[in-house]
Amino acid sequence: MKKREKSTAWLYTGIVCLVLSILFIFAVTAIDVQAIGPNGTSVGFAGINGAVANAVGSNMIWYKITQLLGYLAIVIFVFFAICGVVQIVKRRSLFKVDQDLLVMAYMFIILFLLYILFDKIAINYRPMLMPGETSLEASFPSSHTMLALCVFGTTWLFFKRRLGQGRAYNIIRIMMIVLMVVTIVGRLLSGAHWLTDIIGGILISGTLVSFYAAFSQ
């Protein structure tokens, strides 16, 4: 597939994910909303969310594992940020930074803004109080899921472009896939989120990563 065709395919994928994300957000606020959360907090898709939460329970080991994976994602983000800053200094222009790094920076700015937005406009609250918390925090979408999928997903695509289909790339690809899967599954098993929080995080991060892939070619 040619470069332009790949970009177009990723663009269409991003648009589909964006539409699904918006529809899902409205669905979570309108379908089967019941007060099943702590302190009588309301949750959309209450039947499904309640059944999954009761079946899974909580697991602090998984919570700590996903916390560590979140820190790893931040370290990788800092690495890419340093790469971008070094290029700005050397080339003396923001617009001479490699396109994939520049698009990545835009993506993370949007991710940060979305984090603030959903923190201020709480759609769901956590199923339980987590260690160190004194009050319930907004839980939709799962910020850990979004961070992990955005960082690990763009890392995968970044090195695919830089390394091609060699052995080094295949190792990185497998590692990123494993980290994404472990974060998604672990975050759900930890009990820190409702099922719909995880799904929302997947859809939104899928949107951002797809647009990154479309515009970084």
User: Could you read off the pLDDT of 67-114 as tens digits, one per residue?
Assistant: 999 999 999 999 999 988 898 888 888 878 888 888 899 999 999 999
Separation CA 140–CA 45 (nearest Å): 13
pLDDT of residue 52: 93
Q: Identify whether 10 is part of a domain.
A: no
Q: DSSP string covering 94-146, please?
A: GGGS-HHHHHHHHHHHHHHHHHHHHHHS-S-B-SSPPTT-SS--B-SS-HHHH
Q: Identify whether 3 is part of a domain.
A: no
Q: Identify whether 98 is part of a domain.
A: yes
Q: Identify whether 28 is part of a domain.
A: no
pLDDT of residue 26: 94
Q: Identify whether 52 is part of a domain.
A: no
**Is residue 122 a contact partner of residue 182, using CB atoms and an 8 Å limit?**
no
What band does 187 get if pLDDT is binned at 50, 70 and 90? very high
pLDDT of residue 126: 87
Whether 127 shows a pLDDT value over 60: the answer reads: yes
Q: List the single range of 47-56, 100-109, 157-166 with lowest mean pLDDT.
A: 157-166
pLDDT of residue 2: 67
Q: Identify whether 198 is part of a domain.
A: yes
From the list 210, 193, 208, the residue with the least C-alpha distance to 58 is 193
What band does 216 get if pLDDT is binned at 50, 70 and 90? confident
Q: Report yes or no on whether pTM surpasses 0.85.
A: yes
Give the range of the structural domain holding residue 153, as residue numbers without chain letter. Answer: 57-125+138-217
Query: Could you tell me the maximum CA-CA distance found in the chain, to the nearest angstrom?
Result: 56
pLDDT of residue 196: 95
pLDDT of residue 200: 95
**Type and span of the H or E element at 153:** helix 143-163
Q: Identify whether 86 is part of a domain.
A: yes
In sequence order, what are the beta bridge partners of 138?
125
Question: What total of structural domains would you count in the chain?
Answer: 1
Residue with the two structure tokens 């899928």: 206
Separation CA 145–CA 150 (nearest Å): 8
pLDDT of residue 71: 94
User: Could you read off the pLDDT of 13-32 as tens digits, one per residue?
Assistant: 999 999 999 999 999 999 99
pLDDT of residue 117: 92
Whether 177 shows a pLDDT value over 70: the answer reads: yes
Q: Which SS3 state, helix, strand or coil, does residue 31 take?
A: coil
- For 34, list phi and psi in degrees, rounded to 5: -140, 155
